[in-house]
């Protein structure tokens, strides 16, 4: 059950897209939004002894005032009307421990923006978004553009039917039930790790039995790489969302390594939701 949505913001256009998507979800779930802004300061301004910032410094006061001015503008946005929105700005020297923030504010979902200008891998690699995805214990929804109608009618969950995917698929199915979505359970078969249909279905049946609840029949899609298969299949069915389970860098690298050709970059603009393994 999603009751509180954490939206990290740097007040950019990308984070505004994420906030708009979060607002649509909040209205459907009757949830609250917690807007969070981290003011990153040079290390010399951080008081290591007192675990805080020397907030009396003019620079610190200036950046805090700017943050609250931006919050005031956001809170007047028409798309937030009728939603309980809380905001907070804190000093920090990097987006390192997202779980502390999640636990402190009892968030059930993180929604954040990412431009991903160079394709799907850059949603995750070398950005604060990547740090959040790698470390978050709650689902993370990544938004890359403005969605006039943010609906999750069809979404793809990519899996290899290993036991560590049981938790993520349960979480994904719960969201799909609430959204009345059609879930496409996807297995991408690649030349480098080719399996017969019989082998894949045996793995699926064992996985479904351990899951202990109704599971969609899988779609077996052949492609050169897993990431190409996910993107191409998502394009084929015009998916509203791509969902995957991830366990840090290892999990991300498993799905998103190597280059993706320019013609696939456009389709990577679909929202991506990650579930911690």
Residue 98 has pLDDT above 80, yes or no: no
Sheet holding 109-113, edge to edge: 85-92, 32-40, 4-8, 109-113, 140-143, 272-276, 241-246, 154-158, 182-189, 218-222
- Burial (CB < 10 A; 0-12, 13-18, 19+), residue 145, is middle
| Over residues 124-150, mean pLDDT | 74
Question: Ramachandran region of residue 97, left (φ > 0), alpha (ψ -120 to 50) or beta?
Answer: beta
CB 230 within 8 Å of CB 187: no
- What domains appear along the chain, each with residue ranges and CATH number? 1-113 (3.40.50.620), 147-277 (3.40.50.620)
Tell me the residue ranges of DSSP E strands in the chain: 4-8, 32-40, 46-47, 52-53, 85-92, 109-113, 140-143, 154-158, 182-189, 218-222, 241-246, 272-276
pLDDT class of 210 with cuts at 50, 70, 90 = very high
**Digit-coded pLDDT (tens) for 34-80:** 998 877 665 545 554 444 545 556 777 777 888 888 888 889 999 99
Residue 228 has pLDDT above 50, yes or no: yes
Residue 263 has pLDDT above 50, yes or no: no
Residue 139, φ and ψ in degrees, nearest 5: -55, 145
Residue 90 has pLDDT above 50, yes or no: yes
| Over residues 223-246, mean pLDDT | 89
Sign of CA dihedral 259, 121, 252, 2: negative
pTM of this structure: 0.81
What per-residue confidence (pLDDT) applies to 51?
47
What per-residue confidence (pLDDT) applies to 248?
58
What per-residue confidence (pLDDT) applies to 55?
52
If one compares 231 and 148, the residue with the highest pLDDT of the two is 231
What per-residue confidence (pLDDT) applies to 123?
37
Residue 137 has pLDDT above 70, yes or no: yes
CB 164 within 8 Å of CB 211: no
Question: What's the chain's average pLDDT?
Answer: 80
CB 17 within 8 Å of CB 143: yes
CA distance 135 to 159: 20
Task: Say if strands 52-53 and 85-92 run parallel, antiparallel, or are unpaired.
Answer: unpaired
65 DSSP 8-state letter:
H
Read off the tokens for 234. Answer: 């998502």
- Report the number of secondary-structure helices (H) and strands (E) in the chain: 10, 12
**Digit-coded pLDDT (tens) for 183-198:** 999 999 999 889 999 9
């Amino acid at each position: 059950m999603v009751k509180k949505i954490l939206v990290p913001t740097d007040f950019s256009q990308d984070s505004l897209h994420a906030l708009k998507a979060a607002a649509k979800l909040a209205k459907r779930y009757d949830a609250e939004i917690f807007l969070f802004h981290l003011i990153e300061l040079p290390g010399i301004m951080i008081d290591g002894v007192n675990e805080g910032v020397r907030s009396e410094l003019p620079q610190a006061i200036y950046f805090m005032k700017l943050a609250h001015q931006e919050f005031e503008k956001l809170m007047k946005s028409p798309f937030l009307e009728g939603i309980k929105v809380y905001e907070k700005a804190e000093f920090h020297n990097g987006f390192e421990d997202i779980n502390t923030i999640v636990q402190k504010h009892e968030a059930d979902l993180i929604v954040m923006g990412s431009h991903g200008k160079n394709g799907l891998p850059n949603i995750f690699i070398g950005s604060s978004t990547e740090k959040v995805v790698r470390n978050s214990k709650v689902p993370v929804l990544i938004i890359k553009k403005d969605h006039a109608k943010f609906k999750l009618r069809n979404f793809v969950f990519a899996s290899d039917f290993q036991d560590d995917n049981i938790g993520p698929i349960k979480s994904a199915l719960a969201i799909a039930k609430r959204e009345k979505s059609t879930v496409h359970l996807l297995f991408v078969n690649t030349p480098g790790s080719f399996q017969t249909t019989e082998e894949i279905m045996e793995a699926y049946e064992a996985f479904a039995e351990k899951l202990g609840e109704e599971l969609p029949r899988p779609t077996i899609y052949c492609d050169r790489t897993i990431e190409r298969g996910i993107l191409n299949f998502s394009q084929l069915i015009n998916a509203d969302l791509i969902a995957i389970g991830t366990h840090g860098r290892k999990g991300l690298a498993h799905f998103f390594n190597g280059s993706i050709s320019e013609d696939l970059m456009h389709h990577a603009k679909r929202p991506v939701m990650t579930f911690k393994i």
